[in-house]
Amino acid sequence: MGFFLYGMILRYENNMTNYDSIDNDKRQVLKKQLIKNATSLGGKNHFLSLIEAIRMAHPHPLMAKDASFRFNKGSIKWEKVIFREKVNLLIKLINDNDSNTILMPKKGDSNYKTIRNLIRTIGPIKFEVRPKNSKDGDGFIFNLIEIIDNNTCQLNFMFEVLFVLPIKLIKKIYIGPKEII
């Protein structure tokens, strides 16, 4: 596991109580999204094996020169190569924030142009996750970030699940709260 990925996981392990502070309705939404996407990849075990493969990959899968990552049950492809400095900047932004929200610095700030260019570069990137066997499901597609407004964006939940969150937390979300009828 690369040192930069370890830093992301460490930050989320330290803030794992954030999940506990989320209201049940939001937890239910996260759980349903996770189950839906895991099912479209062949089930919970296929999904968790993908996440484990990503965590063990070195160098970080986002730096792949062919903009793809393969594991024994399927693959992830994205629209363009993300260069090392962009991945490192993204990881730094993730580590510097307590949430998955990325705020644009004020115009004139020394990091303004760098962060703006990062958001412009990675903002439109779509990830396509597909199982190796089409009988396992259709897979799913997600964007790397969700742009909220001109000054704010956040990491897509599925991006966080696949590339950032520790497996322990993902399993906790997957189990989630029981739905009240």
pLDDT in tens, 16-33: 447 778 888 889 999 999
- pLDDT value of residue 158: 95
Q: How far apart are CA 58 and CA 114, in angstroms?
A: 26
In a domain, residue 9? The reply is yes
Which segments of the chain does DSSP mark as H helices, in order? 3-14, 17-21, 24-39, 44-56, 84-96, 112-122, 157-163, 167-175
In a domain, residue 180? The reply is no
Query: Of all residues in the chain, what percent carry a pLDDT higher than 70?
Result: 86
Q: Is the pLDDT of residue 74 over 60?
A: yes
In a domain, residue 181? The reply is no
Q: How many domains does the chain have?
A: 1
Q: How far apart are CA 176 and CA 78, in angstroms?
A: 29
pTM of the model: 0.82
Q: Is the pLDDT of residue 14 over 50?
A: no
In a domain, residue 103? The reply is yes
Contact 67, 78 (CB under 8 A): yes
Range of the domain at 34: 3-175
